[in-house]
Amino acid sequence: MARVRSRYAPDRGLTTRMVGTMFFIGLLYVVLVGILLAVLHGAWPFILIIVGGLFIAQFWFSDRIAAFGMGAREVTPQEAPELHGAVDRICALADMPKPRVAIAQSDVPNAFATGRSEKTALVCATTGLLRRLEPDELEGVLAHEMSHVAHRDVAVMTIASFLGVLAGIITRIALWGGLARNSRGNDPAGMIIMLIPLISAVVYALSFLLTRLLSRYRELSADRTAALLTGRPSSLASALTKVSGQMARIPTEDLRKAEPYNAFYFVPAFSSKESLGRLLSSHPTLEQRLDQLARISAGLSRP
């Protein structure tokens, strides 16, 4: 699942975390479905069909939905020669297939990658990013994004996030459908049905924490492998500093539109300094990322 078939440096820590996350996500998934089958045993075919359908839809279409939501529009080499040229150079360095290339019309300086595999991968940069970065900085950002594709962690995050989505849906169905109203006195079945929203909420919280912990590490891993691939950690550090600094100048309305997609972005967008998203961020802090790149730069400069 996380085997690297390119020149991106393998990351055993990332592989271990992805396997561990998928194991615990799978365990939570089995527990949740098992509870539903035990409580609503008469409707088990319906439950399995719905759950299976949601999983297939999440796995096959979530990347397209995310790309559409972020306004990604695929472009040809004639439409965006500089962006395609930068992607071509990274692909040559990494010895990996070229992903689809897209641009999002947004002043928020950012980039992201989606796709279940190298064959379905898409790398997108916003117009705000293209306007602000120098060519070597842009290559550093693109190398970071393509590291996500090479290490398969985009697909893992897509699958891992499914359980949280399912738990949220079950909670809403339980509340909107008034399942608790079906309980009578001390009826055990009714008591269990009343616990469905609570159990789903706990599963959602655990799923959220697991994916956040994985996401933070994978961002550091992508920074590290991109810096080693290009041999220019200072360019990536410069891009990080520049993009993070520019976020404060972006209108609040634009940041709010971008905030739901922070898990995909190169740098998270927050609509305010007090945003709860900062406490539950999918990314490590800027200081952590710059410190790592500084250590890599020092290591590369040693004779």
- The whole-angstrom separation of Cα 25 and Cα 9 is 26
Alpha-carbon distances of 283 from 25, 232, 289, rounded to whole Å: 20, 21, 9
Q: Show the DSSP H helices in the chain as ranges.
A: 12-39, 44-69, 81-94, 127-132, 135-150, 153-176, 188-230, 233-247, 252-258, 276-279, 286-301
134 is in an annotated binding site: no
The reply, when asked if residue 283 is annotated as ligand binding, is: no
Convert 233-270 to b/e letters by CB count within 10 Å (16 or more is b): bbbbbbbbebbbebbeebeeeebebbbebbbbbbbbbb
Residues ≥6 apart with Cβ < 8 Å to 102: 67, 72, 73, 74, 75, 122, 123, 124, 125
Find the catalytic residue in 79, 118, 137, 145.
Answer: 145
Q: Which two tokens stand for residue 236?
A: 């990536």
Dihedrals phi, psi of 124, to nearest 5 degrees: -130, 140
148 is in an annotated binding site: yes
In whole angstroms, give the CA distance from residue 132 to residue 111.
12
Beta bridge partners of 265: 112
DSSP per residue over 287-298, as a string? HHHHHHHHHHHH
Q: Which two tokens stand for residue 261?
A: 């997609």
> Active-site residue 137, yes or no?
no
How far is the CA of 255 from the CAs of 146, 242, 289, in angstroms? Answer: 24, 16, 22
For the annotated catalytic residues, the residue numbers are 145
Point out the annotated binding site for Zn(2+): 144, 148, 219
